[in-house]
Structures are given as C-alpha cells and as structure tokens.
C-alpha cells in the first residue's frame, strides 16, 4: 500500500518523559483510520506529534513521501493536514461565520476563501442556517460540525480528529461518524482517535489499538471489532 501519511518508529514525549515508543501507522488516500486506546494511552500525543505540537519527536513522518518532521503546524496545514484537537475549540463569542472565516486564515485569496466556505456550507447546512449565531450557543454536536467544517477550509488531504464523538448524545455521535464517512466520499483521508471503539471502528477502514504509547494491534476495522482481545478490553465483553 502506498501511504498518504506514513509514520514509522515514532518516538515522542514531553521533555524528558517519553510517551510514544516506536509507533508506526499508515493512512492511505481517502481512507478512514482509527486509533483506539484507553485514557492516557498516548492517542492525543500521537496526533500532536504528527502536527508538530510537542517538544520531542524522532522517527519518520511523511505525507506523500515528503518529510514532514521539520514542518511547522502552519506549514503542515498548507501541505494538506488539518487537525481538530480534543475538546471544544470553537471561539464561543464569535459567530459561526466568523469562526469559519478564521479557519481559512491561511487561505490568503479572499474570493477563494469565500468559495471554499460556500462549498463547506453545502456539506453542513445547519451551519448556514446558524451563520450569525454565536458559536458558544450551538449544541455540542453543532460545535463539532463547525470544528470539522473549519478544518476543511484548507482543502486538506488528511484530517486528524481527536475524539470527535466525546461528550455527545448517541444520535449526535452517529451524525459525527456520518460526517467522517462523508469526508471519505470527498476523497479526504481521516485519522481519528476515539474511545467510542465500536462506533468508530464501524465507520473506519482500518484501525490500531494503542496501549502505553505503543501500537499493540493493527488490522482491518471489522477484524479488530471482532477480535476477542479488543472485545474484552474495549467493548465490555468477557
Ligand atoms: N503536556 C504534557 N506534559 C507532560 N505529560 C503529558 C502532557 N500531555 C499528556 N501527557 C501525558 O502523556 C500521556 C498520554 O497522554 P495523551 O493525552 O496522549 O493520552 P490519550 O490517549 O489521548 O488519553 P485520553 O483518552 O484521556 O485523551 C499521559 O500519561 C499524560 O499524562
Ligand atoms: Mg486524548
């Protein structure tokens, strides 16, 4: 498989504290890949390390064969990787439209930005309806949609989502994973980390299980869901 994102033997941590150990993952173009694992396993650290947001990283990180290790987060955005961090990241006192426009700050051509906002709004009609509403007054699910919509304004090849379903009611969880599938239909690859193991794997092509900063299992998403070890550890079966 020729990977869009290729991560090989990645070590990463905060100062002297090593968290990730020899992590290797691949994401093909237009593929949905999920990393599951318990609290503190290092899932967020993995996405932060790829996006160059933590002090120590060593190993290989490539997009389309291009070495990403020296790239700043802004340069990574321009190269085609968007990142939606864990927890709410909308600006609550700005409107939906203002939040969207801020997401396109690296798009310097104003008419191009307007065209992209219009295109993203066709994907998320609810955001168009609420464009003048303050983002902080949107429901949790709508805020998540806004975060994902904002990430799309750079027309990324790969979107990294950190726990997109966390804190959402079941109906909204399904809507978020439907959105993830929609991205794949548009040819956008998704790397997400999730604790909602069953639903995340059901929406994914492939998955990895991370424990204590290491990849323990890697397989097709369906095979992982059926794996008795995954069922025992993550799906509450005995
Ligand atoms: N800024 C930091 N400085 C030092 N240690 C950190 C920092 N951020 C995270 N860690 C540690 O790194 C380890 C992995 O954390 P990380 O946030 O990547 O886990 P996670 O798998 O995303 O967990 P969760 O499911 O709770 O979000 C944890 O032991 C955590 O305490
Ligand atoms: Mg996390």
Let me know if residue 113 belongs to a domain.
Answer: no
Is 107 within the bounds of a domain?
no
- 114 is a domain residue: no
Query: Does residue 24 have its Cβ closer than 6 Å to ligand 1?
Result: no
Asked whether 37 lines ligand 1 (CB < 6 A), one says yes
Residue 237 has pLDDT above 60, yes or no: no
Look at residue 102 and tell me if it is in a domain.
no
Instruction: Tell whether 187 is covered by a domain.
Output: yes
User: For residue 137, how far is the Cα from the chain centroid?
Assistant: 23
In a domain, 182, yes or no: yes
CA 45 / ligand 1 centre spacing (Å): 6
Q: For ligand 1, say whether the CB of 212 is within 6 Å of any of its atoms.
A: no
> What are 113-142's pLDDT values in tens digits?
999 999 888 888 889 999 999 999 999 889
Q: In which element (H, E) is residue 66 found?
A: strand 66-67
Domains of the chain: total: 1
**Domain of 20: which CATH number?**
3.40.50.300
Judged against a pLDDT cut of 80, whether residue 22 lies above it is answered with yes
The contacts of residue 109 (CB under 8 Å, 6+ apart) are none
47 ligand 1 Cβ < 6 A: no
Query: How many Å apart are CA 131 and CA 124, to the nearest integer?
Result: 11
pTM for the complete prediction? Answer: 0.94
Which ligand 1 atom is nearest residue 42's CA?
18
Residue nearest to atom 26 of ligand 1 (CA): 39
Range of the domain at 199: 5-85+156-234
179-200: average pLDDT = 93
224 falls within a domain: yes
């Amino acid at each position: 498989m020729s990977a869009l994102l290729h991560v090989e033997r990645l070590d990463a941590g905060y100062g002297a504290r090593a968290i990730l150990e020899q992590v290797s993952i691949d994401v093909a173009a237009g593929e949905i890949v999920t990393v599951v694992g318990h609290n503190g396993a290092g899932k967020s650290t993995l996405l932060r390390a790829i996006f160059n947001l933590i002090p120590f990283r060593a190993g290989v990180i490539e997009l389309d064969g291009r070495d990403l290790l020296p790239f700043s987060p802004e340069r990574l955005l321009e190269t085609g990787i968007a990142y939606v961090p864990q927890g709410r990241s909308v600006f609550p006192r700005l409107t939906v439209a203002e939040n969207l426009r801020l997401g396109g700050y690296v798009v310097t051509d104003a008419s191009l930005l307007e065209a992209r906002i219009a295109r993203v709004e066709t994907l998320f009609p609810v955001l168009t309806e609420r464009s003048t509403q303050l983002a902080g007054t949107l429901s949790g699910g709508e805020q998540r949609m806004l975060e994902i919509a904002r990430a799309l304004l750079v027309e990324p090849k790969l979107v990294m989502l950190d726990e997109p379903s966390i804190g959402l009611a079941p109906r909204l969880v399904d809507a978020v994973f439907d959105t993830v599938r929609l991205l794949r239909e548009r040819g956008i690859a998704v790397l997400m980390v999730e604790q909602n193991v069953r639903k995340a794997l059901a929406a994914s092509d492939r998955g990895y299980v991370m424990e204590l900063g290491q990849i323990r299992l890697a397989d097709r998403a369906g095979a992982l869901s059926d794996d008795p070890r995954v069922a025992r550890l993550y799906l509450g079966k005995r």
